[in-house]
Structure 1
């Protein structure tokens, strides 16, 4: 049905074409959750034996959530290729990357972003390519997400960014992540505490705060391990998916930066296939609520995830307002020696909001409410928590500065920027 709908891309307004597709796929997500999959016996009692074979190791309708993103992305890519402006779009994007992209300059091949932005020839949006993209084994279960345009581009021009040495180093990082995760779970039984509804309420205030930070570290290690492993498998196959977990969870300056670095491939998907079609920067404030609600529903249709989405919106809107005001009114502060410390304080507050949001969404769920109230009532613990997060944020900002300098050196070496 999704592929058949894509054939109508140039026969109706974009809002109808894409809006109907979104409504259909969200309805399917709710249907999958309500029925927990579907039974062959509903079609005919004679097919009952297929249901009796078992559901396998993983439920298919959970994995289908990833396929939903790929199908929606495919529809947008098809529409973009049908606009008749592909040549101009290709020329603009290639010129932009030729001037600024160190990845393109180093490998002499298009980077992921360029591969995604350039539409493919209409003939390549075929059923064979579509099915191969939807069911691509290395990235099928957990990602990272890649676009249809980039996937087909890699079929013609495999990635060159990773040679044997870089793959070995990347593999060693994955092994270290695994060992660190095992070590953390060996001494901190985070998953067990998560399943005990009353455990969080029985903790002392310092324990609650430590649990929140450690649980965020656990999520970072777990997803980092999964995404990097499957990404490496895809790299061996010539497909370079976006890098998820670009930074440590504690090295974040804003909530927006956190999500841009955490599930980076999903963030790029949200920007291209949801944020831009909804108006982009012209409607930034209006897109926050639908985006975070969709992220929550997409993960799982649970009340605690809707609470998570609400907390993220509450944290994001003031950050957006303050950030806009600060960039206009306080430009003079950037040259002051204390500017880094002002940013670090903002980082600490952002990290604190992320800890609380993830306790609701992925930690102890709704049982976190009383525990969070207890944290709010402890001024001493709140102060020490901010001191700790402020200190770690200063370290993170310094690391960001080092990365920025390294990226500038790359551009100088590639001839994109003149050395000073």
Structure 2
């Protein structure tokens, strides 16, 4: 396990610093500490290895099925390194080559380019999401600094020190300090949430608070047995209504009462309609509040179901039985142990649902986790780790900027190109680079807002476990892509539906229905579009071959032929990668028609088939390296399960 202690951060040169910078522990301690084990400051696996002669590592690795022998220095892998040296630069060159001004199709997409900061290069900021993030990044960086400073000022005004009982026992004093910290944080979060909503959305704050109030009333006002169904119906309806009604414009609401205006009416507009237009004109910095409200919907469901499960459930027995330290709970306990009934107040609910660092994009934490971390600061938050995390964010930002200055794949896609004028290699590499840009444009906001949350004292999960190019399993890919959403789906949909099992025909049918339910919700949650529904169903369809292969070719039957089994798994991995690329191109890049053009371009002549064989060979080599990366982690006692 990578070091979490500040003591090790002081020594070593630049290479040592880079190793610490890219430790999994730096990214998120959840990757290196089991979810059921409380995190310990300085709990360094590398140190324990020195103390115990590596016994802990070998036991952990053996238990997880790790191969004790590394393959990094074998002749087989030296061949793979050679393939990497040839393939990776070639992939970047193909996308760069068709992005140059000398390309005959350059004039078709040049209008989507903007002036860049690298001399002699334009930049492709045609993607609306990244363009918005990039444009607002300086203001958000100031807010990242201002928000924690404002909290310190709030804390100075509202003292949290225990009032008079200075002779209280240590445990009782600690409890009083925790309660005082909790009152400080939640009161500030509530006050700042209202201010934040007004600045972001103007008068639309009324609409948002109305939705929150109705959802709160469902949780606390209905008979307990109706709460889950009512919660799901209401929040799914909100996803549709927010989209179909365009955020409930005040003018539209006014017209509902006055009736539609005649086309020839110009001056005699009813006062109520004019008032609605005036309210709409003050929509804050983000007039279209409904675009990102789907993230808030997840928190509304989390609050209601956490409250539902807390009713008639006592935590005291579990806490005493396990002898848990409330000041340092494991992440699993923070999520599963219900908050006290007195904490399910409207103030705490609003502070959680509109918690500023995570409001716009997440990552997502449950209400129970938010309450626990508000009361006790997580031991995983250390200044040295937060600084390194900030540096990693800046490096990713630099990578994104460099890619957009040299590979104009977004602009090319937006110009509706004639794919028949591109070679199969060009079509494939443009699509492949497009997926990487999608990954980066999601990674950057998630990392920035998680960094803000860490600075503020709340540790949410890291959303991206691995690079998009470091995945070979469809099932594992969804454990590591938008990780906090995956965990939310597990807790609130997948497990309540009974999970999955493919041991019998009946179980298999039920499991497929479960997957379809989960991914239908995922698709609708992203956006109400046909291509996203197709994407969600394709993902489920692509799960099935991998699940079937795991039953037809179980590892235990190949224990005497590990190399043959590794090669067999790698062939399956190549098929999985091709299917995942296809599904994500349909959902987030070129759509179904674009994918059909790409496939027809590859199979229309002999050169396309040659390229497909070469691509599959390169993927085979890459997946072998992915296997060994995971084996190296297992040998260190780390099992990320993706």
TM-score (norm 1): 0.87
Residue number in structure 2 paired with 1:114: 333
Q: Give the distance between the partners of 1:295 and 1:155, measured in 2 at CA.
A: 29
Q: Tell me how far 1:405 sits from its aligned partner.
A: 2.3
Greater CA deviation, 83-92 or 256-265? 83-92
Residue number in structure 2 paired with 1:272: 491
Pick from 374, 384, 388: which aligns with 2:618? 388
Given that 1:348 and 1:386 are in contact with CA atoms closer than 8 Å, whether structure 2 keeps it comes out as: yes
Residue number in structure 2 paired with 1:418: none
Q: Tell me how far 1:108 sits from its aligned partner.
A: 7.8
Whether 1:3 aligns to 2:216 is yes
Residue number in structure 1 paired with 2:304: 75
Residue number in structure 2 paired with 1:262: 481
Bigger CA radius of gyration: 2
Q: Give the distance between the partners of 1:84 and 1:387, measured in 2 at CA.
A: 55
Q: Give the distance between the partners of 1:310 and 1:58, measured in 2 at CA.
A: 33
Pick from 332, 346, 371: which aligns with 2:557? 332
Q: Tell me how far 1:64 sits from its aligned partner.
A: 0.9
Q: Tell me how far 1:338 sits from its aligned partner.
A: 3.0
Given that 2:585 and 2:595 are in contact with CA atoms closer than 8 Å, whether structure 1 keeps it comes out as: no
- Using a 3 Å threshold, how does the CA distance of structure 1 residues 376 and 90 change in structure 2: closer, same or farther? farther
Given that 1:200 and 1:367 are in contact with CA atoms closer than 8 Å, whether structure 2 keeps it comes out as: no
Pick from 620, 627, 631: which aligns with 1:401? 631
Given that 1:246 and 1:261 are in contact with CA atoms closer than 8 Å, whether structure 2 keeps it comes out as: yes
Residue number in structure 1 paired with 2:590: 364
Residue number in structure 2 paired with 1:320: 547
Given that 2:424 and 2:598 are in contact with CA atoms closer than 8 Å, whether structure 1 keeps it comes out as: no
Residue number in structure 2 paired with 1:347: 573
Q: Tell me how far 1:27 sits from its aligned partner.
A: 1.5
- Using a 3 Å threshold, how does the CA distance of structure 1 residues 235 and 55 change in structure 2: closer, same or farther? closer
Whether 1:311 aligns to 2:538 is yes
Matches of residues 2-401 of structure 1 in structure 2 within 5 Å?
2-8=215-221, 11-13=223-225, 16-41=226-251, 42-43=253-254, 44-45=272-273, 46-54=275-283, 56-57=285-286, 59-87=288-316, 109-281=328-500, 283-327=510-554, 330-335=555-560, 336-374=562-600, 377=603, 378-401=608-631
Q: Give the distance between the partners of 1:112 and 1:200, measured in 2 at CA.
A: 49
- Using a 3 Å threshold, how does the CA distance of structure 1 residues 88 and 212 change in structure 2: closer, same or farther? farther
Q: Give the distance between the partners of 2:594 and 2:350, measured in 1 at CA.
A: 42
Given that 1:193 and 1:200 are in contact with CA atoms closer than 8 Å, whether structure 2 keeps it comes out as: no
Report Cα offsets for 1:53-100 as digits up to 9, x if no partner: 3564462001210011110111111111114254456578x58xx9xx
Q: Tell me how far 1:321 sits from its aligned partner.
A: 2.6
Q: Give the distance between the partners of 2:395 and 2:566, measured in 1 at CA.
A: 31
Report Cα offsets for 1:274-297 as digits up to 9, x if no partner: 101112235432211111111111
- Using a 3 Å threshold, how does the CA distance of structure 1 residues 151 and 200 change in structure 2: closer, same or farther? farther
Gaps of 5+ in 2: 1-213, 255-271, 502-509
Q: Tell me how far 1:181 sits from its aligned partner.
A: 0.7
Given that 1:212 and 1:356 are in contact with CA atoms closer than 8 Å, whether structure 2 keeps it comes out as: no
Describe the SS at the equivalent of 1:7: helix
Q: Tell me how far 1:133 sits from its aligned partner.
A: 0.4
Greater CA deviation, 231-240 or 398-407? 398-407
Report Cα offsets for 1:238-282 as digits up to 9, x if no partner: 110011111111222311111111110000001001101112235
Report Cα offsets for 1:303-361 as digits up to 9, x if no partner: 2212211221211122223223433xx42214522333322222222221111111111
Q: Give the distance between the partners of 2:628 and 2:601, measured in 1 at CA.
A: 29
- Using a 3 Å threshold, how does the CA distance of structure 1 residues 375 and 241 change in structure 2: closer, same or farther? farther
Q: Give the distance between the partners of 1:202 and 1:296, measured in 2 at CA.
A: 33
Considering Cα pairs closer than 8 Å and 6+ residues apart, tell me whether 1 or 2 has the greater RCO: 2
Q: Give the distance between the partners of 1:201 and 1:108, measured in 2 at CA.
A: 62
Given that 1:208 and 1:371 are in contact with CA atoms closer than 8 Å, whether structure 2 keeps it comes out as: no
Greater CA deviation, 194-203 or 234-243? 194-203
- Using a 3 Å threshold, how does the CA distance of structure 1 residues 267 and 40 change in structure 2: closer, same or farther? same
